[in-house]
Chain A
Amino acid sequence: MTEKDQLIRKEFPILKNRNVIYLDNAATSQKPPCVIEASNRYYNMHNANPLRGLYELSVDATDAYENARKTVADFIGANRPEEIVFTRNASESLNLIAYSYARTFLKEGDEIICTIAEHHSNMLPWQQAAKATGAKLTYLYCEKDGTLTPEMLEEIISDNTKLVAVTQISNVFGRLNDIKGFAKVAHAHGALLVADGAQSVPHVPVDVQELDCDFLAFSGHKMFAPMGIGALYAKYDLLEKMPPFLYGGEMIEYVTTEGATYAEVPHKFEAGTVNVGGAVGLAEAIRFMQRFGWETIMKREDDLTSYAMEKMKKYPYVHIIGSEDPKEHHGIITFKLDGVHPHDIAAIFDEHGIAVRAGHHCAQPLMKYLGTLSTTRASLAFYNNKEDIDAFVETLVGIRKEMGYAE
């Protein structure tokens, strides 16, 4: 291990405590102590129900929560903190758009477009919204290597299209999509662009104003933050006109037995007592990433992806899904191994202390389109190192033998 490797590894005790080679970062990342401590500090020093109390502790809790919102807003380049709604995860953020925006403003004759490469979380909410409103859901098919371009959207979009949902980085291909280009095409036809940032926000710099997307959904737990905190970015004027998603405490102004007026954006979307501990953890995770910097994070992930793909390509029975170019993978390497089922592959990796994902990766329609039921995926974070990749490839090339093949 290089000195830098060791420095980074020190931040992730679980990797030593459990002696695991963790290559399932696209599912969830590990958490550094500073994040866990930030949440703990909140509970030990500042905990009270925020936004409600008129006493000092509650004001502390409110500050902690709103400061976290500001950190998140700055991190993704939002125009103002109110454009960040805290949710549980990317799935909830996407559902919020589907329930609040799509079900209110879409009607029969309208169209929603989502790509075939979407995670179920950026597909099922649109299927349901289409059913509920009578709008039509159209799929934009990627090429078999995952390529999706704004020109491909231009081919199928119409002036009936009201929403276009595209993942910024696919959790299967790892490819970075041109959200700015998609937004431009969508806007030219009067449609809004929903970007799924679950895999991109943890791995590449994202600037929502530069991308000009209307919505961006992401999860904290994939970027070193605790589980149970996520965010939805939306342009302020959209949030203003959208109705609440969930109803209850904290999101109202006046309530009578007949009805209510709702709190200001973003609080009208955050019904009930919120997850301050999680929000504080997410803000600390962002500062943690900023301490290392994008240059370090991206270079390490790129270098390791290249290193792994180079090694894997030497074996004719290993087939990597997606681009040939490691730069188009962002740490996500999905593959097939001739003659061995992905569940057996993952089980054998597990016997060797290596955690990888096997299955449909919550993208069954994509798997069907690619002509397969399931695949295996190794996904990196910047705390992985060459030793991890060496062990991964060594195990990989032994699997066929272990399964009884001569070579």
Chain B
Amino acid sequence: MQNNTFYNEVLTDHNLHPVHKYHLEGANFSLEGVNPSCGDDIVLSLKVEDGKIVDGAYEGDGCAISQASADMMLDLVIGKTKEEAERLADIFLRMIKGTITEEEKEELEEASILSDVSHMPARVKCAVLGWHTMQEMLEEV
């Protein structure tokens, strides 16, 4: 077995034991995101008060990357303002394109473990599913 697997413990743990994967009561924003080509499917729900994400959760099915990415994203954005969350989404999406600085990468905390996806074109859609869904939702906030 090789040790340099992309599927490290942080990733598999967020996939198998997600913190934010449940049905959120009282959410005021909810949106489904789908990757038709691979069948990844998440429903993201946020509770936003006075421009601040006070709680969030997701439900769905899909590969470990899509599910863990959504979980790590929620870790990061709960408690943040809409603008802060949008900024993080922008950094994450640029990380996947391979164009961020080390300082920016640090801001992504655990989510930064997905940076290698920039070399895995087939998995880009999985990694960005949650983030794209959130971006789209926040436009409505």
Contact = CB atoms under 8 A, between A and B. Distances in A.
Interface of A: 340-344, 347-348, 351-352, 359-360, 373-374, 398, 402-405
B117 to A, nearest CB: 10
A351 B38 CA distance: 20
A374 B38 contact: yes
Interface residues of B, number: 23
Given A341-B62, A343-B63, A343-B123, A348 B39 contact: no
B12 A343 contact: no
Contacts of B120: 347
Interface in B1-23: 1-2, 4-7, 9, 12-13, 15-16
B64 A344 contact: yes
Contacts of B126: 343
A373 B34 CA distance: 12
Nearest to A359: B38
A351 B2 contact: yes
A343 B126 CA distance: 10
B39 A351 contact: no
Contacts of A347: 6-7, 120, 123
B6 A351 contact: yes
Interface of B: 1-2, 4-7, 9, 12-13, 15-16, 37-39, 61-65, 120, 122-123, 126
A403 B62 contact: no
Contact of B12 (A373, A374, A404): A404
A359 B36 CA distance: 11
Nearest to B37: A359
Given A352-B2, A402-B5, A343 B16 contact: no
B136 to A, nearest CB: 22
Given A343-B123, A347-B123, A348-B5, A403 B38 contact: no
Contacts of A352: 1-2
Contact of B13 (A359, A398, A404): A404
A324 to B, nearest CB: 27
B126 to A, nearest CB: 7
A403 B6 contact: no
B105 to A, nearest CB: 22
Contacts of A351: 2, 4-6
22 contacts: A341-B63, A341-B64, A342-B63, A343-B63, A343-B122, A343-B123, A344-B64, A347-B7, A347-B120, A348-B7, A351-B2, A359-B38, A373-B38, A374-B38, A374-B39, A398-B1, A402-B7, A403-B12, A403-B15, A403-B16, A404-B9, A404-B16
A366 to B, nearest CB: 14
A21 B128 CA distance: 30
Nearest to A394: B1
Contacts of B2: 351-352
Contacts of B12: 402-404
Nearest to A372: B39
A47 to B, nearest CB: 36
Nearest to A373: B39
B110 to A, nearest CB: 15
Contacts of A374: 38-39
Contacts of B9: 404
B7 A344 contact: yes
A403 B9 CA distance: 8
Contacts of B122: 343
